[in-house]
Amino acid sequence: MSLVKELIEAGIHFGQRRSNWNPKMRPYIFATRNQIHIIDIKETVKGLLLARKLIQKVTAEGKDVVFVGTKRQSQAAIEKYCTDIGMPYVTERWLGGTLTNFRTIRERLKRLEELEKLIESGAIRSYSKKMESQLLREQKKIFRNLNGIRTMNNLPGAMVVVDVNREKNALFEARNLGIPTICLIDTDGDPDLADIPIPGNDDSMRSIDVMIRELCAAIAEGKAKRIQDAQERAEGSGEEDDAANQERRRSSRSQFRAEEDAPAAEAPTTETGVATETPGT
């Protein structure tokens, strides 16, 4: 099945009602049917291809791509595909400062690891009932909000967002840090908030699933390219080492031959120029 046909069957071209739209989305609207805007599928595919290209480049450079989608329709798809591909994600709540105050977020994740060790080892039972209950609540809260980004040790190279109206705080933080953003934007959204807008239905679970799947496939391709480039560099380095070794061996042989070909030492002569005989000859 072609990508365009799959996107149409997923309903990604259905926008919001005509009365609930953002005029900035006019270039991405194809027509109006029954007071509902129809999104131009060509613009959707164009944005998706640009996003795939950027993600491949970012991933090939060894950087992460963080996915943000806290609305109910996007949570399942993001958790599924990001877990499979090993990318960070936020599906519960965007905590202020997740990117701009990243050091504090890492400290909270360390706290999560400490609490999990207490629970796994059973040492938490040594606390009072009240303290144990507080620690368990703290662990559940941190886990719910930050578990998706616990593998994100550095700032991401790009951000994918579902519904710009809902995730403005995340987009503002990404813009402040110069992190490129890719956004699935419905006709009621502001395309200026995204570096690469993908116009489409952000309320349909099927359309969100197709978009996230395609972007995660681009991540897999970028990772494969990074591994291939690393292997090629290693092979190139090995060939350079072999060439250097051959050159050193060649230089040693040349020096040895030069010593062999050197003229034998001449016999000592008298002042008259006649060679003297050695005793016993």
pLDDT in tens, 187-227: 999 999 999 999 999 999 999 999 999 999 999 999 998 88
Instruction: Check residue 253 and give its pLDDT.
Output: 58
Residue 275's Cβ-side half-sphere holds a number of Cα atoms within 13 Å equal to 7
Q: Which residue has the higher pLDDT, 176 or 247?
A: 176
Q: Which residue has the higher pLDDT, 190 or 270?
A: 190
Number of domains in the chain: 2
Distance CA 170, CA 149 (A): 14
Whether residues 187 and 220 share a domain: the answer is: yes
Tell me the pLDDT of the chain averaged across its residues.
86
Whether residues 170 and 87 share a domain: the answer is: yes
In-domain check, residue 9: yes
Instruction: Check residue 18 and give its pLDDT.
Output: 86
265, pLDDT greater than 50? no
Instruction: Check residue 133 and give its pLDDT.
Output: 93
Identify the band that residue 270 occupies on the pLDDT scale cut at 50, 70 and 90: very low
165 contact partners, CB below 8 Å, separation of at least 6: 188, 189, 190
In-domain check, residue 273: no
In-domain check, residue 207: yes
100-112: average pLDDT: 93
Whether residues 56 and 172 share a domain: the answer is: yes
101-128: average pLDDT: 92
String of b and e for 162-192 (b: at least 16 CB within 10 Å)?
A: bbbebbeebbebbeeeebbbbbbbbbbbbbe
Report, in this order, helix, strand and coil percent for the chain, each rounded to 5.
55, 10, 30
Q: Which residue among 135, 152, 169 closes a domain?
A: 152
Q: State phi, psi for 201 to the nearest 5 degrees.
A: -70, 115
Helix axes 102-121, 129-146, angle to 10 degrees: 130
Whether residues 48 and 178 share a domain: the answer is: yes
264, pLDDT greater than 60? no
228-257: average pLDDT: 68
Instruction: Check residue 1 and give its pLDDT.
Output: 56
Domain that holds residue 23: 3-98+155-228
135, pLDDT greater than 70? yes
pLDDT (tens digit, 9 = 90+) per residue, 46-91? 999 999 999 999 999 999 999 999 999 999 999 999 999 999 999 9
Query: Between the CA of residue 252 and those of 46, 240, 245, what are the distances in Å?
Result: 61, 19, 11
In-domain check, residue 267: no
Whether residues 67 and 42 share a domain: the answer is: yes
Distance CA 97, CA 169 (A): 9
Identify the band that residue 230 occupies on the pLDDT scale cut at 50, 70 and 90: confident
In-domain check, residue 127: yes
Instruction: Check residue 144 and give its pLDDT.
Output: 93
In-domain check, residue 268: no
Cα angle, residue 22 at apex, residues 179 and 200 outer, rounded to 5°: 65
Instruction: Write the burial class of residue 92 (CB in 10 Å: 0-12 exposed, 13-18 middle, 19+ buried).
Output: middle
Whether residues 81 and 159 share a domain: the answer is: yes
Query: Between the CA of residue 34 and those of 136, 185, 189, 256, what are the distances in Å?
Result: 52, 21, 20, 92
Residue with tokens 């739209």: 21
119-130: average pLDDT: 90
Instruction: Check residue 228 and give its pLDDT.
Output: 87
Identify the band that residue 280 occupies on the pLDDT scale cut at 50, 70 and 90: very low
Instruction: Check residue 236 and give its pLDDT.
Output: 74
Tokens, residue 8: 């149409």
Identify the band that residue 279 occupies on the pLDDT scale cut at 50, 70 and 90: very low
Whether residues 8 and 113 share a domain: the answer is: no
259, pLDDT greater than 80? no
Residue from 17, 85, 94, 44 nearest 208 by CA: 44
Instruction: Check residue 169 and give its pLDDT.
Output: 94
Sign of CA dihedral 216, 221, 226, 228: positive
Whether residues 163 and 73 share a domain: the answer is: yes
Q: Which residue among 228, 253, 270 closes a domain?
A: 228
Residue 243's identity, in one-letter code, is: A
Cβ distance 130 to 38 under 8 Å? no
In-domain check, residue 208: yes
Whether residues 128 and 176 share a domain: the answer is: no
Distance CA 6, CA 209 (A): 11
